[in-house]
Chains A and B, each alone.
Chain A
Amino acid sequence: NAGVMQNPRHLVRRRGQEARLRCSPMKGHSHVYWYRQLPEEGLKFMVYLQKENIIDESGMPKERFSAEFPKEGPSILRIQQVVRGDSAAYFCASSPPGKTEAFFGQGTRLTVV
């Protein structure tokens, strides 16, 4: 059973471009979470999704950030018009229904130049 797969592992974007981060949860997991880790900081919760639904987006910035988890395919975290302050590691985690134990991917390290 492959773990949580995130791609790309590293992403470089110029200011103003769009960044799309993908996350494939573990097999059988229908819950996906996105976290952001700024340098030398802990992880900050962004959004919690189930298939086709956003359950909790209390940690998402109000503008430029969006997330989806379609019926088919990976979850996508989309950042429009990136700025230098968006540079961070973005981690995805997944869990099966009814369980709170979350398994993390290796992260996507976004660098905005």
Chain B
Amino acid sequence: GEDVEQSLFLSVREGDSSVINCTYTDSSSTYLYWYKQEPGAGLQLLTYIFSNMDMKQDQRLTVLLNKKDKHLSLRIADTQTGDSAIYFCAGSANQAGTALIFGKGTTLSVSS
């Protein structure tokens, strides 16, 4: 089955770019997702990428997908203190995409 790995912590200064990395084991995910979780809150879908794409840009967010290396990254440009949160990448456990497999999350800390 799918296994998703992420680095646990990332610390950046306000205004810098943040890059959060994720590796996965199973290539059957049709979509790969990035979610954001603020303290005590639910998960907010940030963006997702179709598995046949290499890159997707959405305002300050850039998702890069390297299918050969099974590597997914999320770049946040001009990181703000409000971006401090836990970021989860997720893939599908099945072709239908109805059961997501989450990494353990990367805690992003932004200092001013």
Which residues in A have some Cβ–Cβ distance to B below 8 Å? 4, 6, 31, 33, 35, 40-45, 48, 55-56, 58-59, 91, 93, 100-107
Q: How many inter-chain contacts with C-beta < 8 Å in the A-B complex?
A: 60
Q: What's the nearest-Cβ distance from chain A to residue B111, in Å?
A: 22
Which residues in B have some Cβ–Cβ distance to A below 8 Å? 4, 30-31, 35, 41-45, 48, 88, 90, 92-94, 96-105
Q: What's the nearest-Cβ distance from chain A to residue B87, in Å?
A: 11
Known: A48-B98, A58-B99. A104 touches B43 (CB 8 A): yes
**Most chain B CB atoms below 10 A, which of A59, A100, A105:** A100
CB-based contact A45/B101 at 8 Å? yes
Report the Cα distance A63→B98, complex, angstroms: 23
* Chain B, Cβ-Cβ closest to A6: B42
Report the Cα distance A44→B104, complex, angstroms: 10
Identify A42's interface contact among B92, B98, B104, CB under 8 A. Answer: B104
CB-based contact A103/B45 at 8 Å? yes
Q: What's the nearest-Cβ distance from chain B to residue A49, in Å?
A: 10
* Chain A, Cβ-Cβ closest to B105: A42
Known: A42-B4, A42-B104, A107-B42. A100 touches B31 (CB 8 A): yes
